[in-house]
Each structure stands twice: as structure tokens, then as C-alpha cells.
Amino acid sequence: MVREWDPRTAPSTEIASMLDTLNAVLAADLPDDPPWREVSLREYLSEVMPGERRISWVAQADPAADGTPGAILGHVQVLLLGDIGVLEVLVHPRARRTGLGRALVQVAARRTYQEGFRSLGVEVVGGTPAVGFYEALGFTRDYVEARSVLPLATVDWAALGAMATGLTGGYRVEFCPGGPPDALIESYARAKAEARDIEDGELRPSSYDPQRLRDSLDCLHRRGMKPYIVFAIHEGTGEVAGLTEVVVPAQHPTRADQYDTIVREAHRGYGIDRVIKARMLLELRAAEPELVEVQTWNAQANEAMLRVNAELGYRPDRQWCEYGADVAELVHRLDARGR
């Protein structure tokens, strides 16, 4: 049975069952990824930015003989933002090849169409069954980037410390746990806006104005995801010359997510990206004692950042792909197959 589901009001038993399915999927498809924890999982599944909506459905097994509700075997959510719906589907490995995944996509695609959205996108991890699944449904690959992982146990911390102090005069480096001070928000937004035209992919949009940044940081905290930011400040102007962002999720605190690293054009060529990323790792080592790894995503065309990551010790892991479909065409295809 597929039914609409609200994680904000769902019983704790359903949240726990959802976690079991998520970890079963990770164990089957991404066995080197850390398992998730239930801490703030409800908030992770429900909290959104202003102007966005998240709609979810679950599929449950039949109830047990004693009336105990069946386990959640599948979950789909669609995040409606801007002019696109972003899809996420989980199907327990033991329920795969039963048509459940297609049924979940179908119900989400229909709602997306009814809500007036024309496009549906999904992130697909290379080397997993999801690639063939979405391609068979008619999704097409729009963009590919590579995920890399840095095991902190392999880091030469003495060398990293030297790397973190290698910035030429005229700049200072600031570490901001939890988010930037309000005095830097506008300069932070200007740095993000300058990089807007060269950012790749559209399923993880960045924020380019001060209020949107405040909203984004607030949403991260509400979802149980702690942001850390390192800035390079140009002392002559007080402007943010470069920044790097890492988020440590409560749901998997042993592996952090590297977000944007940006150096403004006027300040390139001084090694700022290298210094601020090294400083970030040093600060994280002290601030997050559970942390074991950091993961990051980069387009292959971003050669400069790939070189910095390689120097820091990041190891290429998997392709991470964005797939898209026209919603009306997708609904038509799914409905036709169901007849």
C-alpha cells in the first residue's frame, strides 16, 4: 500500500522503520558509506526552506497477524522548489523488482504534474541499480560530477598545518562554527553570487542573497546539520575573498559533507582555496571528535579544485549524476505501462 506520509507527525515506530530501510539501501548500494542514525531524522525529512514544499509517500508491508503495522519497504519524496521537482526514492532491497519503485515514482510524478511543475530531477549514484531503473523510466542524464572521500586517518596533519598558514599578506582567515556573523552575510552573498554563473547542476541550488543565506543556514540547523565556514577576508576592503563550507549532519556525524568552495576572481592566484580548505580540516578535527571522513563533489571540468583536493588527500569514489524528465511525458509513460 502506497500512502501519503508526513514525517512531522508520523509515529516514532515509522521513523525507525524508515531508518531501517535507508540503512538497508546503503548497505546494498553504498556499503562503504556510514549507516545513518535516528537523531534528527524526522526533521531531516520534513524541514524545508521558505517557499519550498516537500511531499512524501511510503509503501508498507502487510500488517502482522497480531495487527502490528508492517515495515516501511519504500519511500518517495518530491521537493518542490523553483520550477523543478526533485525526486528521492528508496526501496528496500528485498522489495526490489516488484514494481514498487515504479509505483512510487508514478505517484510522485502525478502530484508534481498536478502542482504545475514541468520538470522532475533526481540524483543518481553511479554503479548502483538506480542508474538502469531511471533510464528505463525515460529519465535522461543531464550532468555528472565525481564524489571524492577524504579519510582523516590518512591525513598528514603536520603538512596540513603548514598548508593552512601559506596565505600571502593582505588576508586573514576566520573560522565560523555554526555559520557566519551577520556582519559578513552580505559579503558572503556577493561571493556566492559571483560564482553563480559557473556553478554546475541544479538539484542542489546555492543561495546568493543575504536573506536566502540566513534562511538556508536556519534550515540546516533545523534539519540537524551543523554548518562550518572558513573565510578568507581581504584586509584592505573587509570583503570575503574566499570561503569554504562543510556541514556535519547529526544523522551521520562520522562523515561530513563539503559544500561550496569559492574564491572571488579578483583574489585568485594566491592559493586561497588550498589554505582555507586545509584550515577547515584542522578546525573540524578539534570541533568534531566523531568525524572520520569528509566527502565532496566536483565537476571534472573544475581542474583547479580537483588538484587541491588531491593534494589534501581526497580519493575519487563514485560518479554522482543528475537525471531529468519532462513531467507530463513521464506521467503518460508510467500510466501507459500500468494499463
Per-residue model confidence as pLDDT tens digits over 155-194: 999 999 999 998 888 999 999 999 999 999 999 999 998 8
Asked, for residue 317, whether it belongs to a domain, the answer is no
Task: Specify the pLDDT at position 22.
Answer: 98
Q: Are residues 26 and 113 in the same domain?
A: yes
Cα–Cα distance, 311 to 313 (Å, whole number): 5
Nearest to 40 by CA among 7, 17, 66: 7
What are the cell numbers at 130?
Answer: 538506480
Enumerate residues 6+ apart whose C-beta is below 8 A from 260: 192, 195, 199, 206, 243, 244, 245
Asked which of 281-285, 316-320, 333-337 is least confident by mean pLDDT, the reply is: 333-337
Cα–Cα distance, 160 to 157 (Å, whole number): 5
Q: Are residues 130 and 278 in the same domain?
A: no
Q: Are residues 258 and 174 in the same domain?
A: yes
Q: Are residues 133 and 72 in the same domain?
A: yes
Sorting pLDDT into bands at 50, 70 and 90, what band is 64? confident
Residue 316's alpha-carbon distances to 25, 145, 311, in angstroms, are: 21, 11, 12
Nearest to 245 by CA among 229, 266, 264: 229
Q: Are residues 212 and 298 in the same domain?
A: yes
Neighbouring C-beta atoms of residue 172, cutoff 10 Å: 12
Question: Do residues 55 and 68 make contact, with C-beta atoms less than 8 angstroms apart?
Answer: no
Q: Are residues 140 and 185 in the same domain?
A: no
Q: Are residues 273 and 298 in the same domain?
A: yes
CA angle 86, 211, 120 (to 5 degrees): 10
Domain that includes residue 328, residue range: 2-147+322-338
204 pLDDT more than 80: no
At 146, which helix (H) or strand (E)?
A: strand 140-151
Task: Specify the pLDDT at position 197.
Answer: 54
Asked, for residue 251, whether it belongs to a domain, the answer is yes
Number of domains in the chain: 2
Asked, for residue 46, whether it belongs to a domain, the answer is yes
Domain CATH for 160:
3.40.630.30
Cα–Cα distance, 31 to 20 (Å, whole number): 14
Cα–Cα distance, 84 to 260 (Å, whole number): 21
Neighbouring C-beta atoms of residue 124, cutoff 10 Å: 22
Task: Specify the pLDDT at position 207.
Answer: 67
Task: Specify the pLDDT at position 112.
Answer: 97
Per-residue model confidence as pLDDT tens digits over 4-42: 999 999 999 999 999 999 999 999 999 999 999 999 999
Higher pLDDT, 65 or 236: 236
Q: Are residues 190 and 302 in the same domain?
A: yes
Asked, for residue 296, whether it belongs to a domain, the answer is yes
Q: Are residues 224 and 198 in the same domain?
A: yes
Q: What percent of the chain has pLDDT over 90?
A: 88
Q: Are residues 137 and 200 in the same domain?
A: no
Q: Are residues 296 and 220 in the same domain?
A: yes
Cα–Cα distance, 267 to 219 (Å, whole number): 30
Q: Are residues 56 and 169 in the same domain?
A: no
Nearest to 99 by CA among 323, 327, 330, 337: 337
